[in-house]
Structure 1
Amino acid sequence: MQIDRTSIPNLLFLSQGSRLLAILGAIFTIFAFLSASARGEEITRGRYLVEALMACDNCHTPRGPDGYEMSLRFSGGSQVFSEKDYTVRGSNISPDQHAGIGAWSDTQIRAAIIDGVGPTGRLAPVMPSESYRALTPQDLQAIIDFLRAAVPVSASLPPQQKRGTLEPRPAIPGAEAPFTDADLSDRLKRGLYLASLARCMSCHTGESGSAPDPRGRLGAGGKLFRTPAGVAVASNITSHPTKGIGAWTDEELKRAITHGIGRNGAPLAPTMANLSRAHFSKMTEEDVDALVAWIRTLPPRE
Structure 2
Amino acid sequence: MHRYVWLLALAASFSASIHAVRAETPEERGAYLVETVAACGNCHTPRGPDGAPLTGKALAGGVVIELPAFTAIGANITPDIETGIGGWSDAEIATAIREGKRPDGTLIGPPMPFNFYRHISDRDMHAIVAYLRTVPAVANEVPASEYRIPLPDAYGPPATPVPEVPRDDKVAYGAYLAGPVGHCLECHTPRVGGHPDLENRPGAGGMELPAPGGGIVVAPNITPHSDKGIGSWSDAEIKTAITRGVRPDGTELAPVMAFAWYANMSEEDLDAIVAYLRTLKPVSH
Same fold per TM (> 0.5)? yes
Cα gap change, 1:159/1:207 in structure 2, threshold over 3 Å: closer, same or farther? closer
User: What percentage of residue pairs aligned between the two structures are identical?
Assistant: 41
Q: Which has the higher contact order (CA 8 A, sep 6+)?
A: 2
Cross-structure match for 2:175? 192
In structure 2, C-alpha distance between the alignment counterparts of 1:295 and 1:177, rounded to whole Å = 27
Choose which of 71, 85, 90 in structure 2 pairs with 1:106.
Answer: 90
Cross-structure match for 1:207? 191
TM-superposed CA distance for 1:83, in Å, is 4.6
Cross-structure match for 1:221? 205
Decide whether the 8 Å contact of 2:29 with 2:124 is kept in 1.
yes
Describe the superposition over 1:88-108 as per-residue Cα deviations: whole angstroms up to 9, x where unpaired.
Answer: 311111101111111101111
Choose which of 216, 221, 232 in structure 2 pairs with 1:236.
Answer: 221
Cα gap change, 1:39/1:247 in structure 2, threshold over 3 Å: closer, same or farther? closer
- For 2:224, the aligned partner's letter is S
Tell whether 2:277 aligns with 1:292. Answer: no
Cross-structure match for 2:31? 47
Cα gap change, 1:237/1:177 in structure 2, threshold over 3 Å: closer, same or farther? farther
Describe the superposition over 1:28-78 as per-residue Cα deviations: whole angstroms up to 9, x where unpaired.
Answer: xxxxxxxxxx99822111111001011111111111134111302222123
Cα gap change, 1:241/1:188 in structure 2, threshold over 3 Å: closer, same or farther? same
The runs of 5 or more residues in structure 2 that have no matched partner are 1-21
Decide whether the 8 Å contact of 1:58 with 1:77 is kept in 2.
no
Aligned residues: 256
Instruction: Please tell me whether Structure 1 or Structure 2 has the larger radius of gyration of its CA atoms.
Output: 1
Query: Which 10-residue stretch deviates more, 197-206 or 283-292?
Result: 197-206
Cα gap change, 1:74/1:209 in structure 2, threshold over 3 Å: closer, same or farther? closer
In structure 2, C-alpha distance between the alignment counterparts of 1:237 and 1:298, rounded to whole Å = 9
In structure 2, C-alpha distance between the alignment counterparts of 1:187 and 1:126, rounded to whole Å = 28
Decide whether the 8 Å contact of 2:37 with 2:261 is kept in 1.
yes
- For 1:219, the aligned partner's letter is G
Cross-structure match for 1:165? 150
Decide whether the 8 Å contact of 1:81 with 1:126 is kept in 2.
no
Query: Which 10-residue stretch deviates more, 129-138 or 246-255?
Result: 129-138
Cross-structure match for 2:164? 181
TM-superposed CA distance for 1:118, in Å, is 0.9
Cross-structure match for 2:129? 144
- For 1:87, the aligned partner's letter is T
TM-score by length of 2: 0.82
Cα gap change, 1:220/1:87 in structure 2, threshold over 3 Å: closer, same or farther? same
TM-superposed CA distance for 1:269, in Å, is 2.0
In structure 1, C-alpha distance between the alignment counterparts of 2:222 and 2:280, rounded to whole Å = 8
SS of match in other structure, 1:146 = helix
SS of match in other structure, 2:166 = helix
The runs of 5 or more residues in structure 1 that have no matched partner are 1-37, 171-175
Decide whether the 8 Å contact of 2:62 with 2:73 is kept in 1.
yes
Decide whether the 8 Å contact of 2:174 with 2:276 is kept in 1.
yes
RMSD: 2.4
Cα gap change, 1:40/1:69 in structure 2, threshold over 3 Å: closer, same or farther? farther
In structure 2, C-alpha distance between the alignment counterparts of 1:178 and 1:289, rounded to whole Å = 27
Choose which of 110, 113, 119 in structure 2 pairs with 1:134.
Answer: 119
In structure 1, C-alpha distance between the alignment counterparts of 2:147 and 2:193, rounded to whole Å = 23
In structure 2, C-alpha distance between the alignment counterparts of 1:263 and 1:82, rounded to whole Å = 30
Decide whether the 8 Å contact of 1:92 with 1:156 is kept in 2.
yes
Cross-structure match for 1:125? 110
Cross-structure match for 1:252? 237
Cross-structure match for 1:89? 73
Describe the superposition over 1:101-146 as per-residue Cα deviations: whole angstroms up to 9, x where unpaired.
Answer: 1110111100001111112311102112222122121111111111
SS of match in other structure, 2:217 = strand
In structure 2, C-alpha distance between the alignment counterparts of 1:87 and 1:242, rounded to whole Å = 35
- For 1:44, the aligned partner's letter is E
Cα gap change, 1:95/1:294 in structure 2, threshold over 3 Å: closer, same or farther? same
Cα gap change, 1:210/1:137 in structure 2, threshold over 3 Å: closer, same or farther? closer
TM-superposed CA distance for 1:282, in Å, is 0.7
TM-score by length of 1: 0.78
